[in-house]
């Protein structure tokens, strides 16, 4: 199943604070991904992304998330399955993309980086929700499949925090800013 979470804090925070909060948020959805937790943050911008993993396609560490693209220019946390990932992978390889593992997550992050998020999403066949951070452009994209099979919720909290999650967690409404 997997689950993703994250936030963009508009106050100054350390990497340790950002990762502690995103780990706490991910603990709330541990049932969605019992195999592992991963976190990533950009301290200078206050952005933090977390992921709970249910390893199915690529059981190796090469499938761990949040995943950084091969170029190091993008980060993704993703939930779902892209049914046409093998075809997209083959097309990306022809265009010069090199892969470290076999996960569809890696196909998504490389496709979004090569073709742009909107164009890549138009080509994905499957069920998905993801948070994609373009490090160079400092742009955050939240996307989900056309039918909305995989949940993705987002919102603001007291004008200091933008939160996104694989499920609605109402009791974090007051707690997250206090922990940062």
User: Does residue 122 lie within any of the structural domains?
Assistant: no
Q: How far apart are CA 137 and CA 84, in angstroms?
A: 28
User: Does residue 47 lie within any of the structural domains?
Assistant: yes
pLDDT of res. 137: 93
- Angle separating helix axes 85-94 and 104-115, nearest 10 degrees: 50
User: Does residue 143 lie within any of the structural domains?
Assistant: yes
pLDDT of res. 177: 41
Whether residue 112 lies in the annotated active site? no
Q: What is the pLDDT of residues 59-98, one digit of tens each?
A: 556 566 799 999 999 999 998 999 999 999 999 999 999 9
pLDDT of res. 9: 86
Catalytic option among 2, 41, 97, 112: 2
In a 13 Å sphere around the CA of 26, the CA atoms on its Cβ side amount to: 30
User: Does residue 92 lie within any of the structural domains?
Assistant: no
Low-confidence ranges of the chain (pLDDT < 50): 172-180
CATH number for the domain including 152? 3.60.20.10
User: Does residue 113 lie within any of the structural domains?
Assistant: no
Domain that holds residue 28: 3-79+127-179
User: Does residue 146 lie within any of the structural domains?
Assistant: yes
pLDDT of res. 54: 59
Q: What is the count of structural domains for the chain? A: 1
């Amino acid at each position: 199943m997997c689950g993703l979470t994250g936030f963009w804090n508009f106050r100054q925070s350390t990497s340790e604070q950002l990762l502690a909060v995103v780990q706490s948020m991910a603990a709330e959805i541990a049932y969605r991904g019992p195999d592992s937790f991963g976190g990533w943050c950009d301290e200078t911008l206050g952005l933090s992304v977390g992921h709970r993993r249910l390893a199915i396609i690529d059981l190796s560490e090469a499938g761990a998330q949040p995943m950084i693209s091969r170029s190091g220019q993008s980060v993704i946390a993703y939930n779902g399955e892209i049914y046409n990932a093998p075809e997209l992978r083959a097309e990306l390889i022809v265009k010069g993309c090199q892969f470290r593992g076999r996960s569809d997550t890696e196909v998504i992050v490389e496709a979004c980086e090569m073709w742009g998020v909107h164009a890549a999403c138009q080509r994905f066949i499957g069920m998905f929700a993801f948070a994609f951070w373009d490090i160079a452009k400092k742009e955050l994209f939240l996307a989900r499949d056309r039918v909305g099979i995989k949940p993705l919720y987002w919102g603001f909290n007291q004008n200091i925090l933008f939160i996104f999650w694989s499920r609605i967690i109402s009791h974090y409404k007051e707690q997250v800013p206090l922990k940062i």
